[in-house]
Chain A
Amino acid sequence: MNGAYGMTKVIPQAAEYVRILPEIVLSIFGMIVMVLDPFLDERRSQRTLSIIALVGSLAALAATLFQAQHPGLGFWNMVRVDSFSVFFHFLVAVVTAVVILASYDYMEVQGIRAGEYYALVLFGAVGMSLMSSAVELVLIFIALEISSISTYILAGFRRSAAISSESSVKYFLLGSFATAFFLYGVALMFGATGSTSIPVIGDALRSGHIPLLDYVGIALMFVGLGFKVAAAPFHVWTPDVYEGAPSPVVGFMSTAPKAAAFAVLLRVMFEADAPGRVWLIWVVAALSMTLGNIGALVQDNVKRLLAYSSIAHAGYLLVAFAALPNNGIPAAMFYTASYAAMNVGAFAVISHIGGKGERYVTLEDYEGLGRRNPLLAAILTIFLLSLIGIPITGGFFAKFYVFSAALQANLVGLVIIGVLNSAVASYYYLRVIVVMYMREAREEVPVSPIPLGLGAALVISLVATIYLGVLPGRLLDYAARTAAEWAR
C-alpha cells in the first residue's frame, strides 16, 4: 500500500496535530474537570466545573475555526479536515456549549453532584467531533465508542430515579449490540475491498465490480448507524431512554451524537459511493417517518413525544440520503444543523419546566403555561413550530431542502410519504401549543423564572432556529461546497 493513501510517514508531524486540535482541546478540558473535581467542595464545584467545561467547548469552537484554515489529511490519512468536518465540529461544539449552559441550573435543581458530568459531556464531544473528521472505518468505530460510552453514562445520571438507570442500561445493552453490527460491517468491507479507508473503498467500489460482500457490509454498518440515529426499525430504545435520561442530556444525545452518526453515514454513503443506497434508505426513511409520527400521536409524556418526533425527524433526514449527492449532502447537513438548534432548545425548556425530579413532564403539566410563564411558552412554541416546519423557522427550510432534493432525484413517492407525514406531525406538536395556551392553568405546577444559564442557552438556540429560517442561504452554500469538494 503506497501512494496517496499509503502509510508513508511513521511519525506524525507537528502540523498534523492541528487536524485533531478540537479533540485535543476538549480532552484536555475534560481531564482538567476530572482532576479538579475531588479538590473542590461540593457547593463550589458545580459552578467552577461548569465554567471550565463551557470554556472548553468554546475553546474547541475556536480550535475548529483555526483548523478550518488548514484543511488536509493527517495521521496516516486517517483524519481529514475539510469543510464537511469543520461543519460538524462547529455544530458539536455549539451544541456542547448550549447543553452545558442549560445543565447548570438543572443540576442545581435536581441536586446532582456535578463532577464527572461535565467531563463526560466533553469526552462525548471528543468522540462526536472525531467521527466527522475520521476517514478510516476503524478510527470511526473508536470515535463512535468514545461518544457512545459517555452518553450511556450520562443517560443514567439521575441516580435517584430508577427510570434513569433503566434508561442507561437499556441504552448501553442495545447500543453495544448495534456497534457490534457496525464493526462486523467494517470487517466485511475490509474483506471485500481490502481496505478500511473510505477514499480507498470509494475508489474500489467505483471501479465497477461490486461483490455481494459489499452490500452485506454496507447493510450491517447501516444497522449500527441506524441505531445511533434512531431510525426505524432500530428505534425501539428511543422513547424509554429519552424518558428516563436527564432532559439536558436528552437534548444533547438527540442532536450531537446523531449529527455525528449522520456525518459518518454521509461519508459512507456518498464519499464511498455505497451500492444499493437508494432502496435501503427509501425503506428506512419511510418507516421512520411513519412509525415515529404515529407513535407520537398517542403520547402524553412530552419527553416521549419528542422521542418519537426525533425518530420521525431521522426519517425526514434520511430522505436526503436517497437523493443525488449534489442536493442530498447539503440538504442533510442543513437538516442536522436546524434540528440541533430546535431540539436542544426544546429540551432546555422541558428541563426547566420539569422541576425537581422531573415531575412535570406530562402534557397536563403544561396546561396554562402561556399564562403562567408567557415567555417560556412563547419560546417553546417557536421551537415546536419549527419542528412542525412552519415558515420563518429553520425546520421549514430543513424539510424544504430535503424534499426538493428528493424530488430532483425523482423520488416522488418518498416525498409524498414525507409530506403527508409532516401533516400528521403537525397534530401532536400542535397539541402541546393548544394545551399551553388554551387550557386553564393548573395551580400546583410551580413557575420559576428563567435562570441566566438557561436563558443564554435558549437565546442561542432561538437565534439559530430563526436565523436558519430567515437567511438559510449562507449555511446552505457552505454545505453545497462540501458536495462539490467530494465530487472532485
Chain B
Amino acid sequence: MNTGLDNSILTLVTFIPLAGALLLVLFPRRNRDIRLFALVVSLLDFVLSLHLPVHFQRGQAGFQYEVNNLWISNPNIHYHMGVDGVSMWLVVLTTFLTPLCVLISWKSIHERVKEFFILLLVLQTALIGVFVALDLFLFYFFWEATLIPMALLIGIYGHGRRIYAAVKFFLYTMVASMFMLAAILWLYAKTGTFDFVSIQSAIHNGQVENFAGAATWLFLGFFIAFAVKVPVFPFHTWLPDAHVEAPTAGSVLLAGVLLKMGTYGMLRFNLGLFPEQSRSNAWWVMILALIGIVYGALVAMVQPNMKKLIAYSSISHLGFVVLGIFSFTQAGLDGATFVMLAHGVSTGALFMLAGILYERRHTYEIAEFGGLATPMPVYATFFLFIVLASVGLPLLNGFIGEFLVLSGAFRDRAVYGILGATGVIWSACYLLWMYQRVFYGKVTHSVNLSLPDLSGRERAALWPAAAAALVMGVAPLLWLNAIDPAVQNVLAPFAQLASKMVGR
C-alpha cells in the first residue's frame, strides 16, 4: 500500500497553502482572480489531504506517513511529522473548512482582499502544522505561527471592537503559550531532544533526571497553554470577544479548528507525556470542564447576539471534549475526538449561517429578526438542519460524540456523567429557542421581508457542511475505526497505571 506520495504527503498538505499565499503576494490586485486562486489552492489542498484517510492503515496504532529529517543540529530539532487517527482527521477538517471559508468570504470581504486571502492561507498552513508536528519544537513553532494571521484577520477585517478583541486574543494565548515554551525547554534541557516519541519513551522508562519533582509543573505548563486555547473555564473570556468581532471566515476557522488545537494538545501532550500527572489532576480538570459545559450553556441562553450565542455554545461543547479526554476511557476519548470533528463541521456551518445573515442585515441581534422562514425558506432549512446536528439529534454528527463522551464519563464517575448530560439538554434549549425567535412567527421587521434567499455560492458553501454532518452521523465508524487504535495507544500507559495501583 506504500505509494510514492506517502513520504511527502504531509509536507505537501501543510505547505501548499503557504506556497499559494506567497504566489498571491505577486498577484495583481484583481479581486476576482485572487478569490478564485485562493479557492483553487484550498480545494487542491483538500483533495490532496484525502489521500491521508484513503491510504491510512486502519488497524495500526502509532504514527503514519512519517517524515523525519534533521532540520537544525544544535539544538537537536527535527522536521518530524506524522499523523495518527486523531490528528489525521483534524487535518482533513482543516482542509475541508478552508475552501468553505473562501466561498463564504467571497463578497463580504471587499477591501484589502489580497491580504485577506494571504492571511487565510498562511493560517491554514500553521493550523495543519500544529496537528502534524511530532517534534515539540516544530509544534511550538506552528502553534505560535497561528497567532499572527488570526489576530490580523480579526483586527483588520472584524467589526466595531475588533482591535480590542484582536489584542486580547493575542495576549491571552501568547502569555499562556510561554508556559508551554518553558516546559518544552525544560524537557529539552533534560533529554537533549525535542522528539515527541523519544521524550515519551524517556519519561516512560524513567530516564529523565529530576522528573518526579518537575512533572506536575510541566503538566501545568502544557495545560495552561491548551486550556486558554480550548478555552476551559475560567480562561474563556477572550473567546466571545474574538468571535463576535471576527469576520465570518475567521470565526469558522477559530471555532472549527483553532479551539481544537487546545484539546488536541491535551490529548497528545498532557496525556501522552504525563499520564500519572493527568490522572492525579483529572478531578479538577473535569470539574472545570463541567462548569464550562453548564456555564457556557447558561450564558448562551441569555445572549441577545446570535454570534455570541454560538460562541458560548462552543465553550459548552468544548467542555464535553475536555470531559471525555480526562475520563481516560476508550469511549470518552473516542467521543472527545469525534466531538472535535463534529463541532468543527456544525459550528463552522453555524458561523457561516450567521455571517450570511450579517451580510444582508449587518447585525447579529436576534431581536432584529423573526419569521425569517417566510422570506428565506432554503436558508431556514439549512439552519434547522445544522441546529439539529449541533443539538445532538441521533443520526446527525453531534449525537455520537456526546453519547460516547457521556458514557465514558459515567464509567469514570457517575456524577460527572449526570452533570454532563444536562449540557445536552441545555444546548437543545438555547439553540432551538434561538431558532424559534429568528425563524418562526410573523415577520416583525418589514426590512426582513425582502431579504434574498441563499445564492448559489452560499449554497455551495453550506452543502458540504450539511452533507458531512449527515454522513458523520450515519456512518461514524468510517471515522472511529481510525480514531480507535490511536486512542488505545494514548490510553495504554493508563491501563498500566491502573494495574499498578491495583497491584499495590
Contacts and interface: CB of A to CB of B under 8 A. Distances in A.
B228 to A, nearest CB: 12
Interface string B154-171: 011000001100110011
Contacts of B162: 438
A203 to B, nearest CB: 30
B140 interface: yes
B144 A437 contact: no
Interface in A400-428: 400-401, 403-404, 407-408, 412, 415-416, 419-420, 422-423, 426-427
A473 B72 CA distance: 5
Given A404-B188, A434-B163, A438-B162, A391 B73 contact: no
A63 B112 CA distance: 48
Contacts of B155: 434, 437-438
Contact of A390 (B144, B185, B186): B144
A216 B139 CA distance: 46
B181 A419 contact: yes
Given A392-B141, A408-B189, A473-B72, A434 B178 contact: no
B148 interface: yes
A477 B115 CA distance: 37
B214 to A, nearest CB: 9
A391 B166 contact: no
B185 A403 contact: yes
A319 to B, nearest CB: 12
Nearest to B74: A476
Contact of A415 (B140, B148, B175, B185): B185
A371 to B, nearest CB: 8
A426 B174 contact: yes
Interface in B185-215: 185-186, 188-189
Given A434-B155, A434-B166, A438-B163, A407 B178 contact: no
A438 B165 CA distance: 12
Contacts of B147: 390
Contacts of B239: none
B182 A415 contact: yes
Nearest to B186: A407
Contacts of A392: 141, 145
B185 A434 contact: no
B247 to A, nearest CB: 13
A423 B175 contact: yes
B73 A477 contact: yes
Nearest to A390: B144
A392 B140 CA distance: 11
A307 to B, nearest CB: 23
Interface in A307-366: none
Interface residues of A, number: 34
A452 interface: no
Contacts of B156: 370, 437-438
Given A407-B185, A415-B185, A422 B163 contact: no
A404 B189 contact: yes
Given A391-B140, A473-B74, A407 B189 contact: yes
A385 interface: yes
B75 interface: yes
Contact of B182 (A408, A416, A439): A416
Given A415-B182, A419-B181, A472-B72, A434 B167 contact: yes
Nearest to B72: A473
B424 interface: no
Q: How large is the interface on B (under 10, 10 to 19, 20 to 34, 35 or more residues)?
A: 20 to 34
Given A434-B163, A434-B166, A473-B74, A423 B189 contact: no
B175 A473 contact: no
A426 B185 CA distance: 19
A111 to B, nearest CB: 36
A174 interface: no
A390 B145 CA distance: 7
B192 to A, nearest CB: 10
A434 B115 CA distance: 15
A420 B73 CA distance: 28
B323 interface: no
Contacts of A374: 115
Contact of A419 (B141, B171, B178): B178
A269 B13 CA distance: 48
B170 A430 contact: yes
B486 interface: no
A472 B75 CA distance: 10
A81 B446 CA distance: 84
B189 A430 contact: no
Nearest to B177: A423
A471 interface: yes
A416 B182 CA distance: 7
Interface in B138-154: 140-142, 144-145, 147-148, 152
Q: Which of A401, A430, A471 has the most CB of B within 10 A?
A: A430
Contacts of B171: 423, 426-427, 430
Q: Which of B175, B188, B189 has the most CB of A within 10 A?
A: B189
A415 B147 CA distance: 23
A471 B72 contact: yes
Contacts of B72: 471-473, 476
A390 B74 contact: no
A49 interface: no
B183 to A, nearest CB: 10
Nearest to B192: A408
B503 to A, nearest CB: 35
A480 interface: yes
Q: Which of A391, A416, A471 has the most CB of B within 10 A?
A: A391
Contacts of B141: 391-392
B243 to A, nearest CB: 18
Contacts of B163: 434, 438-439
A390 B177 CA distance: 12
Contact of A426 (B140, B166, B170): B170
A325 to B, nearest CB: 15
Nearest to A421: B178
A404 B75 contact: yes
Q: Which of A401, A422, A438 has the most CB of B within 10 A?
A: A438
Contacts of A426: 170-171, 174-175
Nearest to B152: A437
A385 B148 contact: yes
A419 B148 contact: no
A374 B111 CA distance: 14
Nearest to A370: B156
B144 A422 contact: no
A401 B145 CA distance: 19
A370 to B, nearest CB: 8
Contacts of B115: 374
Contacts of A480: 74
Contacts of B140: 391
Given A392-B145, A404-B75, A480-B74, 6 more contacts: A412-B186, A419-B179, A423-B174, A431-B167, A434-B155, A438-B162
18 contacts: A370-B156, A371-B112, A390-B147, A391-B145, A403-B182, A404-B75, A404-B185, A415-B185, A416-B182, A423-B171, A426-B171, A434-B163, A434-B166, A437-B156, A438-B155, A472-B72, A477-B74, A480-B74
Interface of A: 370-371, 374, 385, 390-392, 400-401, 403-404, 407-408, 412, 415-416, 419-420, 422-423, 426-427, 430-431, 434, 437-439, 471-473, 476-477, 480
